[in-house]
């Protein structure tokens, strides 16, 4: 390696980094750290974490992230930001759905120097490299500026199609727990809406939209996103359910075809399933990633424990389809293992 190459790596333009944003409030510190851990375990390119957190959590994040081994800390940079709302009444935004959930709507406004960003909820786990979901950005056509997965696969049992009292995207709505955004495009677009015929920028639109619909929305910011993409469907890229796989996809029987075929890519344990015993398959994945000692063998210390935990979940509908949960992560680990061997050989060769 040439001298100065390390520094050179740090200087690559922000376009070449992958940016990951999360909003962590209340008791979500551990869950957020496990999500970030799953991101660094498997991703290839360098990551920049944008962590929005209550002030009291900032020192905790910094302390924990410093404890990770250097082989992993060198794969990412991070910044912790305070919770802030650029337009409207901060107290009102904070009350919307869950404290801090509305923060994500302001990411295009706050992260002005960032071109593109993957936003995830704290209860998301990556079972394959972020590089793979990042590559959807290049598939956007000229009007698309964000990507999300459907809220449900079956309209008959979907929440929006049965209960929503406001407009929503498509036949089942979209779930905002995993949202890929081209922020440059979001900042440069005039959005159609039900208030002003000429269109509004993202920042101009948020507060009036919230005012107009606040008495009709149940899931806070996700509902606002559904309303926005109802009026601007050409702006949304819909990715398949295996990129945002939730208990809804198996607890009434398996209904995510993509996951049946290629396994789950991104797991989203909403409904608090990592922390109770209602969906033990989801909890098993959370626990094995949490307990994985960073530098151990992935198969011995992650995959085999996972397989054996799954044996205790066969009494649940989600537990009856272990291959859906295991297929992609097994593939990911094989690749990570091969790469590590190649990296080691490279090191030996150089010295």
Point out which residues bind ligand NAG (CB under 6 A): 115-116, 137-138, 141-144, 182, 184-185, 233-234
Q: Which is nearer to ligand NAG, 116 or 172 (CB)?
A: 116
154 in Cβ contact with 162 (< 8 Å): no
Q: Where are the beta strands (DSSP E) in the chain?
A: 18-24, 47-53, 76-81, 116-120, 124-126, 146-150, 174-182, 236-238, 266-268
Residue 147 CB, nearest distance to ligand NAG (Å)? Answer: 11
Do 141 and 235 meet the contact criterion of CB atoms below 8 Å apart? no
CB of 184: closest distance to ligand NAG in angstroms? 4
User: Distance (Å, rounded) from C-alpha 187 to C-alpha 283?
Assistant: 38
Number of alpha helices (DSSP H) and beta strands (DSSP E) in the chain: 16, 9
Q: Which of 223, 252, 246 shows the shortest CA–CA distance to 164?
A: 223
Q: Least distance to ligand NAG from the beta carbon of 268, Å? A: 23
Distance CA 31, CA 214 (A): 29
Q: Tell me whether residue 13 or residue 293 sits nearer to ligand NAG (CB atom).
A: 13
Beta strands 116-120; 18-24: pairing state? parallel
For the CB of residue 143, give the shortest distance to ligand NAG in the complex, in Å.
4
DSSP output for 304-315: HHHHHHHGGGTT
**Residue with structure tokens 């075929």?**
261
CB closer to ligand NAG, 185 vs 268: 185
Q: Which is nearer to ligand NAG, 106 or 134 (CB)?
A: 134
The nearest distance, CB 188 to ligand NAG, in angstroms, is: 7
Cβ 249 to ligand NAG, closest distance in Å? 23
Task: Give the DSSP letter of residue 56.
Answer: G
**Closest alpha carbon to 227 in 175, 174, 169:** 169
Nearest-angstrom CA–CA distance, 129 and 156 = 33
Cα–Cα nearest to 43, from 122, 116, 142, 131: 131
Residue closer to ligand NAG (CB basis): 87 or 238? 238
Return the number of the residue (188 or 218) whose C-beta is nearest ligand NAG: 188
Q: With respect to ligand NAG, which residue has the nearer C-beta, 176 or 279?
A: 176
Smallest distance, ligand NAG to C-beta of residue 203, A: 17
Least distance CB 85 / ligand NAG (angstroms): 25
Question: 29-42 vs 322-350: helix axis angle to the nearest 10?
Answer: 60
CB closer to ligand NAG out of 32 and 232 = 232
């Amino acid at each position: 390696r040439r001298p100065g190459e390390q520094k050179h790596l740090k200087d690559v333009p922000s376009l070449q980094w992958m940016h990951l944003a999360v909003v962590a409030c209340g008791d979500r510190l551990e869950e957020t750290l496990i999500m970030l851990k799953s991101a660094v375990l498997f991703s290839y390119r360098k990551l920049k974490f944008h962590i929005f957190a209550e002030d009291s959590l900032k020192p905790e994040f910094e302390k924990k992230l410093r404890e990770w081994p250097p082989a992993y800390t060198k794969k990412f940079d991070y910044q912790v930001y305070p919770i802030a709302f650029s337009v409207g009444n901060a107290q009102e935004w904070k009350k919307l759905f869950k404290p801090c959930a509305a923060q994500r709507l302001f990411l295009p406004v706050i992260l002005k120097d960032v071109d593109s960003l993957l936003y995830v909820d704290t209860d998301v786990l990556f079972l394959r490299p972020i590089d793979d979901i990042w590559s959807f950005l290049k598939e956007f056509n000229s009007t698309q500026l964000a990507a999300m997965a459907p809220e449900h696969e079956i309209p008959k049992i979907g929440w929006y199609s049965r209960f929503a009292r406001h407009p929503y995207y498509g036949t089942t709505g979209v779930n905002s727990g995993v949202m890929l955004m081209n922020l440059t495009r979001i900042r440069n677009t005039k959005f159609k809406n039900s208030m002003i015929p000429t269109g509004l920028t993202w920042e101009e639109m948020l507060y009036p939209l919230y005012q107009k619909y606040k008495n009709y929305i149940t899931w806070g910011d996700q509902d606002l996103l559904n309303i926005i993409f109802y009026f601007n469907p050409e702006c949304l890229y819909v990715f398949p359910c295996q990129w945002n796989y939730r208990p809804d996809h198996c607890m009434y029987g398996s209904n995510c075809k993509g996951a049946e075929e290629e396994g789950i890519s991104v797991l989203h344990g909403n409904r608090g399933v990592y922390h109770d015993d209602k969906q033990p398959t989801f909890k098993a994945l959370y626990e094995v990633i949490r307990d994985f000692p960073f530098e151990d063998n992935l198969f011995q210390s992650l995959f085999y424990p996972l397989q054996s935990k799954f044996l205790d979940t066969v009494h649940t509908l989600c537990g009856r389809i272990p291959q859906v949960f295991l297929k992609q992560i097994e593939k990911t680990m094989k690749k990570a293992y091969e790469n590590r061997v190649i990296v080691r050989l490279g090191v030996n060769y150089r010295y």
